[in-house]
Structure 1
Amino acid sequence: MSTASALQRSVIMNDLQSKEYDVLVIGGGITGVGIALDAITRGLSVALVEMQDFAAGTSSRSTKLVHGGLRYLKQFEIKEVAELGKERAIVYENGPHVTTPVWMLLPFHKGGTFGKFSTSIGLRVYDFLAGVKKSERRYMLTSAQTLEKEPLVKQADLLGGGVYVEYRTDDARLTIEVAKSAIEKGAVLANYTKASGFLYNDAKKIIGIEATDLLSNETIQIHAKKVVNAAGPWVDDVRSIEGKTSGKHLILSKGVHIVFDQSKFPLKQAVYFDTPDGRMVFAIPRNGKTYVGTTDTFYEGDPRNMDIEQSDRDYIMNAIHYMFPNVKVTDTDIESSWAGVRPLIREEGKGPSEISRHDEVWESASGLVTIAGGKLTGYRKMAEAVVDKIAASLNTEFGVASKPCITKDIPISGGEVGGSKHIQTFISKKIESGVKAGLTHEEADYLAQHYGSNVEKVFSYVANANDTMPKALFAQLQYGIEHELVTTPVDFFVRRTGNMFFNIASVLAHKEAVITHMAQQLNWTDAQLSEFTELLNIEIKRATTAK
């Protein structure tokens, strides 16, 4: 029986070695877990390893939007816009607890990138291509209406604005919910397990991997008929295990976001605006905070140890002061921040903002299937393309039959709420349940929105809470350990709760209690206690270094 409990790690490690899998995925970001879910629902046996935590790379450090692809319209990537728009609707329908529509304001000024006519036509074309439903289609505003919608927007030379729908998401929670879905359906997934070598047959075809359990330093072998490299920014690193790589290569683009409390930056309306250098930046209100980003610069180095430079902060600050001149924030007002990389397929002569975000799938002579590039929004479709390719090979080479893709109509874990139309009714009912369990109305509301149809399991832990931390936080932590493979405090504070970015005060107030509880639950050694505490402190410093 597959498990998502960090308390059952030995079971997971034994399962990985117990048989030959049809598909083995390297990489636990949204692309990798999407492939695992697609493959397991087609009747294939599936294993997945991730050297860090799920979503630890790009999939927890995006702008946290399931884009419909408006920016690609500007680059005339028509097919991209049409496909992303349709996929966005599917992502929302299958997981309305982690994705929600938000109206986005696109102001236009005299001399800016967009004018009234181009904005109106562009958004109309976008609505058509993306298949936007009638209730969410764009509408245009006068300059007075634009300022009424968001008074902080620059008044000088303001000509008006367009309003369209984007979908806000919690990227890391979307990833973990897809991972849990795959596990619930029988896939075996392990974090902190690094692919360190390939296994070959006499014909020099890959038949599995050698992997290192980074928690125990034990080496295991996992056998599989087909191995997929979905390692995101580390795709080339995985390929290099075979030796020198040739052909396509990745180039990394760094994106930085900074977060303010709304008392400092009281934005009430999400805004997508152009900067003096012709790029586009988002400013988005979320849970009493406002976050702004992103930068777009080439990056060389290890994405695991990526710091935010002063130049990154300066770029975003300049963009804020350009579009919101009455917002007098400085670096000392930054509560937290994050940096991530976009793994792009190299295109000579193009800058990071010009390189297409398209994905590509290819196979090496030894049979390693690699997927690179792509976007969060298109994860399900990317997974379908990869598994289509694998399924054909499995059938031809091994006589293994599989079903067609069905992920379009499968709610992800937590998404069993009766569809997007019923999410608010569902949350209202669960608030009552949470209050009965001993939570405040606000805590119950937050947890219901955060966990969707899994929230009753979260509520069940409230009764066991002690006075070392708030009841809701304890319930999240224990649920995370037993049902979401929470292994380190960074997993919990960054990727399962998002508190590192949007509630840093909670992290600082309760980090010691969380560390103590996890150490007891997971039987950490003294060395692990020291290591995981230090890693958390590094992440806190990285997120708050401007303060």
Structure 2
Amino acid sequence: MNHTFSAMERKDRLVQMEKGEYDILIIGGGITGAGIALDAQTRGLRTALIEMQDFASGTSSRSTKLVHGGLRYLKQFQVKMVADVGKERAVVYENGPHVTTPEWMLLPFYKGGTFGALSTSFGLRLYDYLAGVKRNERRKMLDVNSTSAKEPLLKTNGLLGGGTYVEYRTDDARLTMEVLKKAVDAGAAAVNYTKADRLLYDNGKLVGVIAKDMTTSKEYRVHARQVVNATGPWVDQLRAKDHSKRGKTLRLTKGVHLVFDGGRFPLRQAVYFDTDDKRMVFAIPREGKTYVGTTDTDYTGDTQHPRMTEEDRSYLLAACNDMFPGIKLTEQDVESSWAGLRPLIYEEGKSPSEVSRRDEIFTSPSGMITIAGGKLTGYRKMAEQVIDLIVKRIPAGTGRSWKACVTRTLPMSGGDVGGSAAFPTFVERMTAEGQRLGLTQTEARMLSERYGSNVSSVFAHLQDGKSGLIHGMPASVHAMLAYSMEEEMTVKPVDFFIRRTGALFFDIRWVHEHKAKVIDYMAAHLNYSEEQKMAYAAELEKELRAAVTPEDREEAYDAGTSDHLAGGPAHERSGEAANPTL
């Protein structure tokens, strides 16, 4: 079993990084940094990556969770961007069918709305063409009755029809983890909770960083021939440290999503709709829940902890109740939420929704390369562009040569299932194997779908087919936790409950049910001090509170939301969770 990405060996890896000689050091462990690490290492560059928080803890775990091509950007005539990222959807799907799922999207159009029958038909047809969509996933136009039949909750007043097209739903944090794990499997060194505290120079050239372990405050010197700034919302802060923050800068915008129980908001069909102020909102069913987003507002607050506000929540509730008038959602129906930041390139005079999502590469006088902007879907192409630039800057050296980019057809970790067409058969086979080991069919299927070809390593943590509790946890929970600590560098409880499982967003009751035993297990196996254990438990409670309480109504939490700490809203606590994580 491969333990090179183990939380138990994390400090040893930092010691090794200080002793190592690297061609490239990537600062930032989101999807952009992970993609760059994979491309670099598979081309033959000795690669290191550090992340000051957990991997994917910023934008890469707080998106709309779609690998999509940006249909709305056609309105802004960003044709090349739509074409580039649209084609990448199929690449991501083939390389990681366990973290990417085709999702038919319904785009209804109404009298007086942003879209009409002609513009919808033309836009979707152009989208299919630009994205190279395969024939069985191309757009279909629907009349009024067919549109209502697709999603009965839609308002009928003014409805003129609709169009359907395919997007790809993903777990953004797990996508990031699987790409990064593949880079580590190829030989890259990656460590979380490690901050680029100070930059190291030699005659004005950036040659590395003094990296600070955020769990111990110990410092390490990490040297590299090339340093890449892939820190997302923090790129300008790192550029300022490098004294190269000039010219184009970032504009941060915030997106918020709300999660509802599927019994309260029984959406059958993913819907993409426009609001009265001409913004676009997704409503997507997922694993017994329905989530809705996103807002798009300028942001100047805490970059590390963006939060839902009461205004954000009210806006999305109003948008839902307008488009789905029969459901009459209230703030008490919100089970969870998340807020994320989009690091966009500043453009004078543009509203948040109008700013381009394109990526750009900046090279500073010190040689630091910064990649800014971009979309989740385009991570692989962004990485390819960065490494294409770097291999021109770094001579191969005696006896070394750089390979061509191979990531277009390289399965990510967990993706060795024979391609998307073979994935359902793989899931059936591994579900049967999980049942043989003592799991229920639901548990075995969930693990097989989530972990793909890595599920055998997860199953290895089951105890010889014995059912019942392991360390006070159901066998399936223990297997996921142990695997994530040994092979996904899970350091804190929040890593497990947010980035490794997504449970805090999509099954908050499950978090409450298992948090105490998870914390105890992690404390014992990762040798937390009592102070660390208390701090990490408090951090999880803060995230649970943030998921249900607007930032500007924090004081109402203690007085009025004890339901959530007891295991969710009253309508959910009356019975079993609609679709538990496992």
Q: What is the match of residue 209 of structure 1?
A: 209
Asked if 1:515 corresponds to 2:544, the answer is no
Which range is displaced more, 299-308 or 77-86? Answer: 299-308
Which range is displaced more, 243-252 or 410-419? Answer: 243-252
Q: CA deviation at 1:251?
A: 1.1
| Preserved CA contact (<8 Å) 2:275 2:281 | yes
Q: CA deviation at 1:239?
A: 1.4
* TM-superposition CA deviations, 1:143-195 (whole Å, max 9, x none): 10011100000111111100000000000000000010000000000000000
**How many residues are paired up?**
546
| Counterpart Cα distance in 1 of 2:3 and 2:459 | 23
| Preserved CA contact (<8 Å) 2:3 2:487 | no
Q: CA deviation at 1:303?
A: 2.2
Q: What is the match of residue 194 of structure 1?
A: 195
| Counterpart Cα distance in 2 of 1:244 and 1:360 | 15
| Counterpart Cα distance in 2 of 1:205 and 1:2 | 35
| Preserved CA contact (<8 Å) 1:6 1:487 | yes
Asked if 1:84 corresponds to 2:85, the answer is yes
* TM-superposition CA deviations, 1:350-373 (whole Å, max 9, x none): 111010000000110011110000
Q: What is the match of residue 383 of structure 1?
A: 383
Q: What is the match of residue 503 of structure 2?
A: 499
Q: What is the match of residue 10 of structure 2?
A: 9
Give the partner amino acid of 2:427. Answer: I
Q: What is the match of residue 93 of structure 1?
A: 94
Q: What is the match of residue 171 of structure 1?
A: 172
* TM-superposition CA deviations, 1:77-128 (whole Å, max 9, x none): 1111111111111000000000010100000111111111110111111111
Q: Among 475, 480, 483, which residue is 2:484 paired with?
A: 480
SS in 2 for 1:462: coil
SS in 1 for 2:52: coil
Q: Normalising by the residue count of structure 1, what TM-score does the alignment of the two structures yield?
A: 0.98
* TM-superposition CA deviations, 1:414-462 (whole Å, max 9, x none): 0000000011000000000100111100000001000000001111112
SS in 2 for 1:463: coil
Q: Normalising by the residue count of structure 2, what TM-score does the alignment of the two structures yield?
A: 0.92
SS in 1 for 2:537: helix
Alpha-carbon spacing, 1:396–1:431, altered in 2? closer, same or farther (3 Å): closer
Asked if 1:230 corresponds to 2:230, the answer is yes
| Counterpart Cα distance in 2 of 1:74 and 1:182 | 37
| Counterpart Cα distance in 1 of 2:4 and 2:116 | 53
| Counterpart Cα distance in 2 of 1:147 and 1:208 | 58
| Preserved CA contact (<8 Å) 1:210 1:221 | yes
Give the partner amino acid of 2:450. Answer: H
Identity of aligned residues (%): 57
Asked if 1:539 corresponds to 2:543, the answer is yes
| Counterpart Cα distance in 1 of 2:461 and 2:471 | 14
| Counterpart Cα distance in 2 of 1:439 and 1:49 | 36
Q: What is the match of residue 442 of structure 2?
A: 442
Q: What is the match of residue 364 of structure 1?
A: 364
Q: What is the match of residue 250 of structure 2?
A: 250
Q: CA deviation at 1:243?
A: 3.5
* TM-superposition CA deviations, 1:206-225 (whole Å, max 9, x none): 11111101111101000100
Q: CA deviation at 1:276?
A: 0.6
* TM-superposition CA deviations, 1:207-253 (whole Å, max 9, x none): 11111011111010001000000000011111122246222211100
Q: What is the match of residue 141 of structure 2?
A: 140
| Counterpart Cα distance in 1 of 2:363 and 2:307 | 34
| Preserved CA contact (<8 Å) 1:2 1:183 | no
- Across the aligned residues of Structure 1 and Structure 2, the Cα RMSD in angstroms comes to 1.4
Q: What is the match of residue 54 of structure 1?
A: 55
Contiguous gaps of at least 5 residues in structure 2: 551-560, 562-582
SS in 1 for 2:470: coil
Q: CA deviation at 1:10?
A: 2.4
| Preserved CA contact (<8 Å) 1:394 1:400 | no
SS in 2 for 1:103: strand
Give the partner amino acid of 1:343. Answer: P
Q: CA deviation at 1:399?
A: 9.5
Give the partner amino acid of 2:511. Answer: V
Q: What is the match of residue 526 of structure 1?
A: 530
SS in 2 for 1:326: coil
| Counterpart Cα distance in 2 of 1:389 and 1:301 | 34
Alpha-carbon spacing, 1:69–1:88, altered in 2? closer, same or farther (3 Å): same
Q: What is the match of residue 68 of structure 1?
A: 69
Give the partner amino acid of 1:221. Answer: R
| Counterpart Cα distance in 2 of 1:177 and 1:395 | 30
Q: What is the match of residue 489 of structure 1?
A: 493
Contiguous gaps of at least 5 residues in structure 1: none
